[in-house]
A and B are shown apart, each in its own frame.
Chain A
Amino acid sequence: MNDRLEIRNVSKRFTRKSGIVERGAEYIGLKAPNPVVRALDDVSLTVAQGEVVGIVGESGCGKSTLGRVVAGLLKASEGAVLFRGKRLEDMSARDAEAARLQVQMIFQDPSSSLNPRQRVHEIIGAAPLHHGLTTARELDDYVSRQMERSGLDPSMARRFPHQFSGGQRQRIGIARALAVQPDMLICDESVAALDVSIQAQILNLFLDLREQLDLTYIFISHDLSVVEHISDRVVVMYLGRVVEEAPVAELFSHPNHPYTRALLLERPSLDPVQRSFSAIEGEIPSPLSPPSGCHFHPRCPLAMERCRVERPELRSVGTRHKSACHLND
């Protein structure tokens, strides 16, 4: 059987487009071409139907870019994204549109992803109406059902987003995504902006929906305890590359990659004991000029000569456990 999603050797490069004057200057050598950011650097990943895959890593490591490529909001520079074994480019226009609708994204900031001038009814109802998932006559009922399922009171359908709390606005975003009947959700830092007590409510909603609708999730977060709670499998990224992936229990009990180990050590914990904070040395390097070889080598306590020149491959180090580190040779 095909995986729900397969990402095959995907790279994504960003460059700022040069204006005509700049291009002239580049041509005659007065100006260097605009720098290239490798937001994703040869990333491969599969997600099975019904699976929850968590993606963790420091800011700028490419988590959001990966999510946006999968959701079809960005085009990969190289490589392929396969939905149930097929690329969108190889599908008929109709199938491609249906496949795209099946993957919906939920963002971090509920306020900026909702149109402030639209009423909730329209925010949630516009897309399903457009795609013929409901009719104008049945729209009110349809929207009410989406709102109820996301824990919102349908009597508030005529209100504007600013009349809701942060947690409620995130529920509106979830209701809007669910309204087009996706089977896969990409949650990009979807609880990061919420208060702890509201975070728990929204995480519970994700868990409930998974059960009711057999959803597949890509769950992006910098918060390791949230990812540990909700994921079946976890992928760790560093500067555009996957450095480790493993089933959740395995990753948290037997982390292999030095970066993963450092991340786990630095996770603030609720142990009510005075602990000493130790820290990975150094800054997060710029993705504009990533270090050579293993990107992590300037911060890695175990780095060897080889790490500076040779990129480590992502290789199997156990059952469904992969890691990209020369120490495994």
Chain B
Amino acid sequence: MTALLEIKGLKTEVVSADGNVTLIADINLNLAAGEVMGLVGESGSGKSITGLSIMGLVDKPAQVTGGQILFKGQDLRKLSEREIRSIRGNRIAMIFQDPMSTLNPVLRIDTQMMEVVHAHEAISKQAAWERARDALGMVGIPSPEERLRAYPHQFSGGMRQRVAIAIALLMSPELIIADEPTTALDVTIQAQILSIVQKLARDRGTALIWITHDLSVVAGLAEKLSVMYAGRIAEQGLTADLLRRPMHPYTNGLIASLPAHNKRGSRLKQISGTTPSVANMPRGCAFHPRCASATQLCLSPPPLEPVEGRLLRCFHPVTEGALS
């Protein structure tokens, strides 16, 4: 069976005359239809750049410089701008943290939604309108017929995000890349949105890449998990495996530092130090200045290798586990 999405050795750099700066490199991942993958990491670790690279949306001066992005076996990097545009928003859709980056403030919701449909499909106005109404209904917006006549500012933040999701759903995409779509929302509204997308993936076989800095959001949603650190995948595998027995010292440290895993009121286990910046990457394993297991060996870069049913980038995997 071919995967829906297969990414091999993806690399994105800031390209300039004084030399290139790597933003992400050696990104590998596989996703089948209906599968949900969580992509977690700290601010600046390259999660958004990974999503944008897949969509062909990285802004200058950054640019994808290596690797393959196989969507149903076809390398998206080899497509012309016109061909990629026919896929984007149609078979692959993206949802952003700020719904207003998708919505146009001066147009009514129906106008915007029908525009998206007509950009990809020559159907009647009535059919496009019905599809917009159904999509709004699907994301749980009450009385969608009336709401279609509203403008974005007449919605709350949570409703706007649902409209943005509805727009992503219009063309029944096979893959949705969601970049922190619930980060700015309250827990109650976040739970509503998670329940909608979970149903979608289950009922319609839509594959999802869910980008977040919050492990607990993807724990219940994604069967697969990729943990990024400093532009590279640190560890990737089944969510249940990684959470139960993290093998990368960074994953391990992250899980151990969560309040839920520490005795109430006690000091939290913490990862010392701070996240490195792209301009100032430590050599070898980028995590080594913060890693308790680091040795001389870690001054050369560790490869991403299959270990015990997962991919791992570390010379000295954790054996005892975070939760012991």
Tell me the A residues contacting B by CB distance below 8 Å: 58-59, 165-168, 195-201, 203-204, 207-208, 222, 224-226, 228-230, 248-249, 262-263, 266-280, 283-284
Docked complex Cα distance between A222 and B257 (Å)? 18
* Contact (Cβ within 8 A) A196 B213: yes
A197-B271, A272-B239 given as contacts; is B220 within 8 A of A277 (CB)?
A: yes
Docked complex Cα distance between A278 and B220 (Å)? 12
Closest A residue by C-beta to B155: A283
Which residues of B sit under 8 angstroms from A229, Cβ to Cβ?
A: 259, 262, 264-265, 268
Which of B124-132, B167-175, B190-198 lies at the interface with chain A? Answer: B190-198
Told that A200-B270, A204-B268 touch, could you supply 8 new A-B pairs with CB distance under 8 A?
A58-B186, A166-B43, A195-B275, A201-B271, A228-B259, A269-B220, A271-B220, A283-B156
* Contact (Cβ within 8 A) B268 A196: no
Residue B143, interface by CB 8 Å: no
Which residues of B sit under 8 angstroms from A200, Cβ to Cβ?
A: 257-258, 268-271
* Contact (Cβ within 8 A) B42 A278: no
Tell me which of A197, A199, A249, A266 contacts B188 (CB under 8 A).
A266
Which residues of B sit under 8 angstroms from A226, Cβ to Cβ?
A: 259
Residue B14, interface by CB 8 Å: no
Docked complex Cα distance between A230 and B198 (Å)? 32
* Contact (Cβ within 8 A) A284 B267: no
* Contact (Cβ within 8 A) B219 A222: no
Interface size of B as a range: 35 or more
* Contact (Cβ within 8 A) A272 B243: yes
Q: Is the interface of B mostly helix, strand, loop or mixed?
A: helix
* Contact (Cβ within 8 A) A207 B220: no
* Contact (Cβ within 8 A) A273 B186: no
* Contact (Cβ within 8 A) A277 B195: yes
Which residues of A sit under 8 angstroms from B268, Cβ to Cβ?
A: 200, 203-204, 229
Which residues of B sit under 8 angstroms from A195, Cβ to Cβ?
A: 42-43, 213, 275
* Contact (Cβ within 8 A) B195 A268: no
* Contact (Cβ within 8 A) A284 B186: yes
Docked complex Cα distance between A48 and B245 (Å)? 41
Which residues of B sit under 8 angstroms from A203, Cβ to Cβ?
A: 259, 268
* Contact (Cβ within 8 A) A279 B195: yes
* Contact (Cβ within 8 A) B195 A276: yes
A197-B42, A200-B257, A279-B192 given as contacts; is B220 within 8 A of A273 (CB)?
A: yes
Residue B261, interface by CB 8 Å: yes
Residue B216, interface by CB 8 Å: yes
* Contact (Cβ within 8 A) B220 A165: no
* Contact (Cβ within 8 A) B216 A277: no
B190 to A: closest C-beta gap in Å: 8
Which residues of B sit under 8 angstroms from A278, Cβ to Cβ?
A: 191, 195
Residue of A198, A263, A270, A275 contacting most chain B CB atoms (<10 Å): A270
A195-B275, A198-B274, A271-B220 given as contacts; is B240 within 8 A of A207 (CB)?
A: no
Q: Which residues 195-224 in B have Cβ within 8 Å of A in the complex?
A: 195, 198, 213-217, 219-221, 223
Which residues of A sit under 8 angstroms from B72, Cβ to Cβ?
A: none
Residue B122, interface by CB 8 Å: no
A-contact bits for B279-307, CB 8 A (1 contact / 0 none): 00000000000000000000000000000
Residue B85, interface by CB 8 Å: no
Residue of A266, A273, A278, A284 contacting most chain B CB atoms (<10 Å): A266
Docked complex Cα distance between A208 and B241 (Å)? 34
Which residues of A sit under 8 angstroms from B188, Cβ to Cβ?
A: 58, 262-263, 266, 279-280, 284
* Contact (Cβ within 8 A) A269 B262: no
A to B CB contacts below 8 Å, 17 in the list? A168-B274, A195-B42, A195-B43, A197-B253, A200-B268, A204-B267, A207-B266, A207-B267, A222-B186, A225-B259, A263-B188, A268-B216, A268-B219, A272-B239, A279-B194, A280-B188, A284-B188
Which residues of A sit under 8 angstroms from B223, Cβ to Cβ?
A: 274
Residue B114, interface by CB 8 Å: no
* Contact (Cβ within 8 A) A197 B264: no
Closest A residue by C-beta to B188: A280
Residue B17, interface by CB 8 Å: no
* Contact (Cβ within 8 A) B257 A268: no
Docked complex Cα distance between A228 and B269 (Å)? 16
Tell me which of B194, B260, B270, B275 contacts A270 (CB under 8 A).
B260
Closest B residue by C-beta to A232: B265
A225-B260, A273-B240 given as contacts; is B219 within 8 A of A201 (CB)?
A: no
B296 to A: closest C-beta gap in Å: 24
Docked complex Cα distance between A166 and B277 (Å)? 12
Q: Which residues 18-68 in B have Cβ within 8 Å of A in the complex?
A: 42-43
Tell me which of A196, A201, A268 contacts B220 (CB under 8 A).
A268
Docked complex Cα distance between A38 and B275 (Å)? 41
* Contact (Cβ within 8 A) A276 B240: no
Which residues of B sit under 8 angstroms from A249, Cβ to Cβ?
A: 264
- 10 A-B pairs with the lowest CB-CB distances in the bound complex, closest first: A229-B259, A200-B257, A277-B195, A272-B243, A266-B191, A268-B216, A279-B192, A272-B240, A195-B42, A200-B270
* Contact (Cβ within 8 A) B215 A270: yes
